[in-house]
Chains A and B, each alone.
Chain A
Amino acid sequence: MSDAPLTDPPKKKRGWCFCAGCILIPLFTVICLVSAVFFGPDVAGWLGIFGMQAEEVYEGAPDPAASRSLTETFNELGIPGVKVYVIPIKGEPTQGAFIILDTSAGYKGMNPANTADDTFLLVLQGITRRNRDENLRLAHVTVDYRDEVGETATSFTAPQTLIEDYADGRITQEEFFGEIEIDLLGTLEYLGIDNLLEEIQQ
């Protein structure tokens, strides 16, 4: 037996490992989250988990003949300030059509002559006809509305099958617009609403 006086057992000291853990775990979590946001799409793309990014999907040369043909649809209807690009989609036998309605290049609306015709429907019927007759193999049509300085104000995209349903009279205009995709984030960014939200939150 020892004669040493009884004392309280020494308090277990929390070592530097504990403190490092306090700092490292949140730090690691933050790094993981930031990496997921910034590098996630690239890594996922390489691993084939998610789809390819737009730069890769549309890396090939545009199809000039198809682009000219679709631009002609607008020229025939007397609509100026329109440029169309048809670009092959990587990994698929189809192509994407991109219609630029550019106010800075003279675009004044679908019906500049103010005729009674439903010009929008005529445009979609023209695209559908050329797609079938010239075997353009369109998969999507995306419309880019540009403002007076050439900045994208809003954009929407629709699969070619949906365009054909409307052009052929199988669905109404309202049903067509209900099914398209509008770039909400891009449009809000253009309107400057993201900055407004940030200011209010501060």
Chain B
Amino acid sequence: MKTTIKKFFLCLILILPLLFLSACENPDPELVEKALEAWAKKNDLYVNGQWKPEGVVLKAAQDTIGNITNSDETVQFNALDVLRDIEKAEDLAAEALLSYDTAKMASAISIRPKDWSLQDKDAAIWMVKGNGAAAQSAFTKSDELLRERLLSGGNCFNFRRTQLQNRMFALSDALGEYKLRHTPGDPTAEALRAEINRVADELHIMNSTKKSDFCGEK
């Protein structure tokens, strides 16, 4: 038992220098080393030039508790997995927009079901496919998700403006791709253009009046 405890602490003593050695492999070795040193001092892992291996245990325990209680810092670190999901969904959505693949878009939406920007991209694909009802349904879903989101707070005007800008990007991307493959005057291209104009008009009114019908501001 004593040997195990000795080995355990020996390992802990090795952890801190290893943590610092990891900085050497980083593209910012000096910066990361400075950050680690200042952070280790502040968190009592490095006191008066001496490593305090028990400090690692304490910090790891604090972090584990933070993980259970969803501390502010833990949420930020766990959000890095959310970023991976966003990237995956964006990649799928971009591929779906190129190939007008609604199944692929559905996969993207299943990764981020509350992300209204994906619904707008879905709507753009349905418009290209000539299914106006499905496109309208996706736009409505996007609006609903935003309204649902606003129930928990946030500036409606800012959110709506960002949503419309996003929608315009999605429709313009779809139109750009579509025009490359079809002749001018095509009805689908015209429908896309009309929808872009409708979104642009709403944005213009919002910017000039600083009010939004969507937010119930007349």
Interface residues of A (CB under 8 A from B): 36-37, 40-41, 44-45, 50-55, 57-65, 85, 87-88, 90-93, 96, 98, 100-101, 103, 107-110, 120, 140, 142, 144-145, 147, 152-157, 173-188, 190-191, 193, 196-197, 200-201
> Given contacts A51-B72, A54-B82, A156-B35, are A61 and B163 in contact (CB under 8 A)?
yes
Between A and B, 18 residue pairs with Cβ closer than 8 Å are A41-B70, A51-B72, A55-B81, A57-B75, A59-B149, A64-B165, A93-B154, A103-B27, A109-B28, A142-B79, A145-B28, A153-B22, A174-B38, A175-B38, A177-B38, A177-B39, A177-B42, A183-B63
Q: A96 touching B79 by the CB < 8 A rule?
A: yes
Closest B-chain residue to A92, C-beta based? B153
Residues of chain B in range 9-39 having any CB-CB distance to chain A below 8 Å: 11, 15, 18-19, 22, 25-28, 31-32, 34-39
Report chain B residues within 8 Å CB of A98: 79-80, 83
Q: A109 touching B27 by the CB < 8 A rule?
A: yes
Report chain A residues within 8 Å CB of B67: 41, 185
Q: A185 touching B153 by the CB < 8 A rule?
A: no
Q: B79 touching A110 by the CB < 8 A rule?
A: no
Q: Any chain A CB within 8 A of the CB of B4?
A: yes
Compute how far the CA of A175 lies from the CA of B34 in the bound complex, rounded to whole angstroms. 11
Q: Give how many B residues have a beta carbon under 8 Å from the other chain's beta carbons.
A: 62
Closest B-chain residue to A179, C-beta based? B42
Report chain B residues within 8 Å CB of A58: 79, 82
Q: A181 touching B28 by the CB < 8 A rule?
A: no
Compute how far the CA of A152 lies from the CA of B118 in the bound complex, rounded to whole angstroms. 26
Interface residues of B (CB under 8 A from A): 4, 7-8, 11, 15, 18-19, 22, 25-28, 31-32, 34-39, 41-42, 56, 59-60, 63-64, 67-83, 86, 112, 114-118, 149, 152-155, 159, 162-163, 165-166, 169
Compute how far the CA of A199 lies from the CA of B34 in the bound complex, rounded to whole angstroms. 31
Q: A91 touching B152 by the CB < 8 A rule?
A: yes
Q: A90 touching B27 by the CB < 8 A rule?
A: no
Q: B78 touching A54 by the CB < 8 A rule?
A: yes
